[in-house]
Structure 1
């Protein structure tokens, strides 16, 4: 979630949506995203909408946060009305959601269930830093209805964690996975970052090996992106650290694919691998396949039926609006059919299920043929009418998608 908000058209104080957005409500999967913007410390690479205790300022507090979010859940129910479907996925992201007491997270989840109803077998995930949970809090989350944990491991090498300003020790993520399993969590993800300045191939292999050994059923691996305005960007600008290298990042991705595949994981999105179909993150799949979701919390983004909106950034402004009975939305945009078609291509082509060849615009067909001849698309699915990226295609996906759109 970027720290800056885009421009858009005003949102009614009631949060009311256009009739067209509500017309197909219930025909697509529906999820909830809950943003918890609190962090113990600010990581040097992060530009998300997050706040440490020192940065929070007056008008907002962790203690009141759960009740504030519950007010937005109630607003969502009023806006979506009787056509609101049951919630298939809930994802608590941040920040560090588990800086809140487990009881607060469970209370927010219970409010979503009370207002909308959770679908049978709903997936409920929370992100967590490894040091922000313990066996007791994990047991409370599991008993309260959470089904999936996602831990920010990033690296198993201390010097890499230090460059990223991560505070946990290298072995803590594996210990957290074990504690989550003991608490009854069947689905556990570990997030990794590759390409950090000072990281070697051996460091990256060690991180992957440690992640695999920890026993999650899902691994996400992302190339480090240097965002303007972050402490990492400033350090690189001063010459203290080298800029991450694209060729190195490509090599690291190939290492990840090799080691994760050998360990029984399969890619289902360019940066995500799961040990089974059940281990795939259904909430993220909802995003990638054009579902609907309500994003609660400061800076959170939502999408219903082609209308996208985003909340005010600061927790104090967010809380003040809800206290006044006013929507916390900052602005919105109504996507055109062309916009939605482009977004669908951009997202679905990143998936192992691919994108329907029949829906490619005629003007882009030569680009598709060229991509097939260059080995960027797999020939077997292609003959069945789907564009599916090869391993080489995954490395060049961003450029290919630009060419296709």
Structure 2
């Protein structure tokens, strides 16, 4: 069955366009596509992403028409890039909960990517998913349609922790979904975890890690709970219903995760990400961390091409209206200068296992790097070889080390 959605007629030229400076290096720089799906069944208490439940959408936007809107925006992107558009090495469908859309819609979007862009033979195609939003049948359709990787939002295996986070899936569902994804033929399966939730115990976190290691996954992402202003969780903490996450507990949880995952055969390659080997790493995220090029479509999606960064209007109705009218959905942009780009390269590179060359730092930054070695935050042997690489202790203080070396 042909699942490709009909491509909409080419819209008029958009007021947004890539400057010549941003086009330099297009053919030689890795290029990815990000597709944002802003829909969620419910809003998690900690989430401040650009997502919307059915009650929040309002008129002018709906799930049934979303894939067609995305295809139209992809067509615009392809036209803006021109006949020598770069080869797509990764596609990442994020959200929100992309798998709230029918699998046929997601496959149709990927079919449009292949029609509009040159695509690498070994392209990595990821979708995010909530465990309760997939079934063996939907996973099989996604895999048959070209998706190679899935990232499941597990967060915790403890029921009371999931309740604090306002997650709706049962504690065992994430592991079941991971097994179903493997059975469907997905080459790579990731589970996302959150640690430090109010009420989480050492035993809860240990149990969550044990569930991960008993699952057929080759990648794990683990993030400290961040209390974002404006979220339900922040309001509950402000009212005294829940305690603020404790920094010492967060550090202990991280060390516990790293030790457990290492024993299970997963090594860190970015401060919050572990994989069984280089082939299991998320290549799309590596593209971000390398400050390469990516084009984002969908409401609120961000893009970066050749030092030009831009972002789309946030609300799905406003986004859909602009695309339907043949207008650019871009809400704003900024052209990074050489200093900005160099700073971002340092900030991102320091979080990676390989670190970065000391020559990427300013003279003051190199002096601070030497001091960080003395304090056990950067690896001494790597420093002697001309690289800044975080130690295990340095990873616990990664944000502070980055600030120190870039100020």
Shorter chain as normaliser: what TM range? over 0.9
Deviations for 1:259-314, whole angstroms, at most 9, x for unmatched residues? 00011100000000001111000000000001100000000000000000000000
Alignment of 1:112-151 (within 5 A): 112-151=113-152
Structure 2 SS opposite 1:188? strand
Alignment of 1:172-187 (within 5 A): 172-187=173-188
For 1:86, the equivalent position in structure 2 comes to 87
User: 1:214: Cα distance to partner?
Assistant: 1.0
Q: What CA distance in whole angstroms lies between the structure 2 residues aligned with 1:382 and 1:83?
A: 41
Q: What CA distance in whole angstroms lies between the structure 1 residues aligned with 2:400 and 2:140?
A: 44
Q: What CA distance in whole angstroms lies between the structure 2 residues aligned with 1:359 and 1:46?
A: 35
For 1:355, the equivalent position in structure 2 comes to 356
Alignment of 1:318-337 (within 5 A): 318-337=319-338
For 1:159, the equivalent position in structure 2 comes to 160
Q: What CA distance in whole angstroms lies between the structure 2 residues aligned with 1:384 and 1:140?
A: 48
Structure 1 SS opposite 2:189? strand
For 2:256, the equivalent position in structure 1 comes to 255
Q: What CA distance in whole angstroms lies between the structure 2 residues aligned with 1:362 and 1:41?
A: 49
Structure 1 SS opposite 2:80? helix
Q: What CA distance in whole angstroms lies between the structure 2 residues aligned with 1:46 and 1:287?
A: 21
For structure 1, the 5+ residue unaligned runs are 1-11
Structure 2 SS opposite 1:402? helix
Deviations for 1:170-229, whole angstroms, at most 9, x for unmatched residues? 000010011001100120000000000000111111101111111200000000000000
User: 1:27: Cα distance to partner?
Assistant: 1.4
For 2:5, the equivalent position in structure 1 comes to none
Structure 1 SS opposite 2:36? strand
For 2:383, the equivalent position in structure 1 comes to 382
Q: What CA distance in whole angstroms lies between the structure 2 residues aligned with 1:63 and 1:352?
A: 42
Alignment of 1:340-351 (within 5 A): 340-351=341-352
What is the RMSD computed on CA atoms of the aligned residues?
A: 0.8
Query: 2:200 aligned with 1:192, yes or no?
Result: no
For 1:7, the equivalent position in structure 2 comes to none
For 1:371, the equivalent position in structure 2 comes to 372
Deviations for 1:83-127, whole angstroms, at most 9, x for unmatched residues? 211100000000000000000001111111111121010000000
Structure 2 SS opposite 1:214? coil
User: 1:380: Cα distance to partner?
Assistant: 2.2
Q: What CA distance in whole angstroms lies between the structure 2 residues aligned with 1:359 and 1:47?
A: 33
Contact 2:189 2:217 in 1 (8 A): yes
Q: What CA distance in whole angstroms lies between the structure 2 residues aligned with 1:267 and 1:174?
A: 21
Structure 2 SS opposite 1:82? coil
User: 1:383: Cα distance to partner?
Assistant: 2.1
Contact 2:85 2:118 in 1 (8 A): no
Q: What CA distance in whole angstroms lies between the structure 2 residues aligned with 1:397 and 1:134?
A: 38
Alignment of 1:283-294 (within 5 A): 283-294=284-295
User: 1:18: Cα distance to partner?
Assistant: 1.1
Q: What CA distance in whole angstroms lies between the structure 2 residues aligned with 1:52 and 1:362?
A: 49
Structure 1 SS opposite 2:83? helix
Deviations for 1:109-148, whole angstroms, at most 9, x for unmatched residues? 1111111121010000000000000000000000000000
Structure 2 SS opposite 1:208? helix
Structure 1 SS opposite 2:296? strand
For 1:219, the equivalent position in structure 2 comes to 220
For 1:9, the equivalent position in structure 2 comes to none
Query: 2:317 aligned with 1:316, yes or no?
Result: yes
Q: What CA distance in whole angstroms lies between the structure 2 residues aligned with 1:120 and 1:386?
A: 33
Q: What CA distance in whole angstroms lies between the structure 2 residues aligned with 1:286 and 1:350?
A: 14
Q: What CA distance in whole angstroms lies between the structure 2 residues aligned with 1:25 and 1:365?
A: 31
Deviations for 1:43-88, whole angstroms, at most 9, x for unmatched residues? 0000000000111110011000000000110000111112211100
User: 1:384: Cα distance to partner?
Assistant: 1.9
For 1:45, the equivalent position in structure 2 comes to 46
For 1:264, the equivalent position in structure 2 comes to 265
User: 1:13: Cα distance to partner?
Assistant: 3.8
* Runs of 4+ off more than 3 Å: none
Q: What CA distance in whole angstroms lies between the structure 1 residues aligned with 2:138 and 2:177?
A: 11
Q: What CA distance in whole angstroms lies between the structure 2 residues aligned with 1:163 and 1:333?
A: 38
